[in-house]
Chains A and B, each alone.
Chain A
């Protein structure tokens, strides 16, 4: 694609990325682009390295081969100082929330502001309350992280991620382990934040229904490859058996229910312990 296009439309470009852990190949020469201002989902079964991809984009891990460009900067060629200033413009919502356990909700949201700005305390207070209000937890500001439910912790973490008004937010499995109500709240929140704050969102998830409901574009990963991509409607009509199985949640299909093993009857009849 021409470079001028990527400058305007693509906030993240992954080019021919390969990454392996030990002998296991997690990504095998994948390329994908994420459009500015859109909600892009990266989906795939557990263990396909979706979280790893976010860590690669954030510069916490180094690829074996390939490049990742974020806002027209090659993430893995940046000096530490430049990488840190790039990270100030990227928010990341960890699966666990990753709140600092020795501070209350208010101080957690104020943390990035206090670390990176020299704003007076009164202005920090205003900003923190605004961010907390946006996630509906202004009233919970005095609670400690261990007093929060999982969904609340994620919303506080989201308030913290938008504290510095980033250009993009990466969500790591935001819907996992949520009850239907907090799931609904999160889905709504991600969508509305993306519009109101003019963010770009990257969602890594395996919750098909919720993700498909808010994503503008979806990449489906399996075995280190991209097996399908397109808008949710395009994917629903995909003729790939694999994508069909994943999107519909069928128990058996190209991905088998059983872990590879020798013949069942054979196994049962063998007396030797092996």
Chain B
């Protein structure tokens, strides 16, 4: 069978560009370049209302993403939302008295957890809990309150 060098070269080129495209997808398009799932620790926080928070919603400090929400469950006794989040181990110096709030990115954007670092010298560890939390702001509730205030003020 005749096999020409050009053919070999073109096949090599094809395989190389294909693999390059896979790497491009992994590193440039997806989050693989910025996160590794293995090295992380879990902390929990309890919220009155978790609003539109979802599993995989981002967790950030000062606008920098440091982890993701890994589960949202309801505590049957207190009727609070228990949110677990995985935080990358490289951010292992979050003070113990940090606060967690649920914010919305823009008016219609998705909700995320923002952590405000406290002042303690002890740091959050695996399975520790954030005590200071503020719930999601539910837009309808806010508009409702605003209307009520207006009506009362008149």
Contact = CB atoms under 8 A, between A and B. Distances in A.
Interface string B1-23: 11000000000000000000000
Contacts of A104: 2
Interface residues of B, number: 2
A173 B2 CA distance: 31
6 contacts: A103-B1, A103-B2, A104-B2, A107-B1, A107-B2, A114-B1
A174 B2 CA distance: 29
A30 B36 CA distance: 76
Interface of A: 103-104, 107, 114
A18 to B, nearest CB: 42
A254 B85 CA distance: 95
A104 B1 CA distance: 9
A104 B2 CA distance: 9
Interface in B92-114: none
Contacts of B1: 103, 107, 114
A97 B1 CA distance: 19
A107 B1 CA distance: 6
Nearest to A103: B1
Contacts of B2: 103-104, 107
A114 B1 CA distance: 9
Contacts of A114: 1
A103 B2 CA distance: 8
Nearest 4 A-B pairs (CB), nearest first? A107-B1, A103-B1, A107-B2, A103-B2
B9 to A, nearest CB: 20
A46 to B, nearest CB: 37
A232 to B, nearest CB: 43
Contacts of A103: 1-2
Nearest to B2: A107
Interface string B108-150: 0000000000000000000000000000000000000000000
